[in-house]
Chains A and B, each alone.
Chain A
Amino acid sequence: DAKTTQPPSMDCAEGRAANLPCNHSTISGNEYVYWYRQIHSQGPQYIIHGLKNNETNEMASLIITEDRKSSTLILPHATLRDTAVYYCIVRPYFGNEKLTFGTGTRLTIIP
C-alpha cells in the first residue's frame, strides 16, 4: 500500500506556479520523498527527491516540512507540457525496497 496521500486532481493556469501537496505522516527516518510524473502514453519520469532539506533542480523545487510529515512539489512556471499525473513516493534510499505508486495527482495546466 502507498504510504502517501495526494489530492486526486488539480488545475493550474499556464505561467503560474503549480504547488502539489503530499502527505506522508508515517514516513520513517531513513525514507526519502521521491516525485515522479507520467505524461499521457509515456512511462513515469523522475523529477526530484529529498530527505529533509529543500531541494531544487532544473525541473522543480521540493519543500519538505520540518517534521517531514508532508511535502510540496513546486513547478515554478507551469506550461501545457506539465499536464500529467504526479506521484509522490516515500522509499528508503538504501536497500531494495520496492517503489510503490499510489494514484497520484492529475495536474491540468489551463491555457
Chain B
Amino acid sequence: EAGVAQSPRYKIIEKRQSVAFWCNPISGHATLYWYQQILGQGPKLLIQFQNNGVVDDSQLPKDRFSAERLKGVDSTLKIQPAKLEDSAVYLCASSLGPGVSSGANVLTFGAGSRLTVL
C-alpha cells in the first residue's frame, strides 16, 4: 500500500512569513496526526483528527498555527506568522482509528517536512 505522503520536504522562510504543509494519509485511515519534532527531541503532537473532526489540539499554538482536514482525507497545516522557534520537522501520521483491535492504533508516519525559519 502507498505510504503517507507529505510535501514539501524542505522549506526555508524568514520569520513572520507564512508556510503550509500538506499531508495525504493512507487510504481508509480515519485518524490523522500532525507532530512537531524539534532537533534532539521526540515528536510532539500538535493536532489529531478523527475523520474531519478535531480530537485533540491542546498543544497547537492556535495564535499562529491552524490545521484542517477537509472531507476527512487530506490535511493542511499552516503557520502564520512563523517564528524562529518553529524551525522543526513536521510529521504527518495516520492510523485506522479507534477500533476493537490493537493494530488499529498503529501509526504510519510520513517522511516529514523540514522547516527552517531565518
Contacts and interface: CB of A to CB of B under 8 A. Distances in A.
Interface of A: 2, 32, 34, 36, 42-46, 49, 51, 85, 87, 91, 93-96, 98-104
Contact of A43 (B45, B103, B106, B109): B109
Given A43-B91, A103-B42, A96 B98 contact: yes
A100 B55 CA distance: 15
Which residue, B98, B103, B106, has most C-beta atoms of chain A within 10 A?
B106
User: For chain B, what secondary structure do more than half of its interface residues adopt (helix, strand, loop), or is it mixed?
Assistant: mixed
User: For chain A, what secondary structure do more than half of its interface residues adopt (helix, strand, loop), or is it mixed?
Assistant: loop
Interface of B: 4, 31, 33, 35, 41-45, 48, 50, 55-56, 91, 93, 97-112
Contact of A99 (B99, B104, B107, B111): B107
